[in-house]
Amino acid sequence: DQQVKQNSPSLSVQEGRISILNCDYTNSMFDYFLWYKKYPAEGPTFLISISSIKDKNEDGRFTVFLNKSAKHLSLHIVPSQPGDSAVYFCAASSLLYNFNKFYFGSGTKLNVKP
């Protein structure tokens, strides 16, 4: 059951421009969302999270937007840098289930061209 979906397997942007990565979910019980970044042969690294009581959270160059009615979240990276090139995963969990598991999307591979 693919409850979290990332429909774009890859994205290529120019250095300095905005990168927008998208994620959709199907379970309306999800109330905690996260973005992770993963380099090859390493574990995922936490980037930013958002609770369902908010619709935006910002941390430096990274901003996550949450649209609960559309069950959609996005990660904006501005400005994009070559070091941002990695695979990005969105994840979701629920307080209702006491955060017993986190569901991950299949990832979007971001390539930032110098």
Nearest CB to another protein, comparing residues 60 and 114: 60
Q: How far is the CB of 103 from another protein (least distance, A)?
A: 7
Task: Annotate each residue in 62-91 with x if it binds another protein (CB under 8 A) or - if it does not, as one string.
Answer: ---------------------------x-x
Burial of 66 (0-12, 13-18, 19+ CB in 10 A): buried
Q: How far is the CB of 113 from another protein (least distance, A)?
A: 22
Residue partners of 76: CB distance under 8 A and separation at least 6? 18, 19, 20, 62, 63, 64, 65
What whole-number distance in Å separates Cα of residue 16 and Cα of residue 9? Answer: 21
Position among 19, 63, 85, 93 found at the interface with another protein (CB under 8 A): 93
CB 101 within 8 A of CB 4: no
Q: How far is the CB of 114 from another protein (least distance, A)?
A: 26
Instruction: Give the three-class secondary structure for 83.
Output: helix
- Say how many residues make up the chain: 114
Position among 18, 29, 78, 95 found at the interface with another protein (CB under 8 A): 95
Catalog residues that contact another protein under the rule CB under 8 A. Answer: 4, 6, 9, 32, 34, 36, 41-46, 49, 89, 91, 93, 95, 98-107
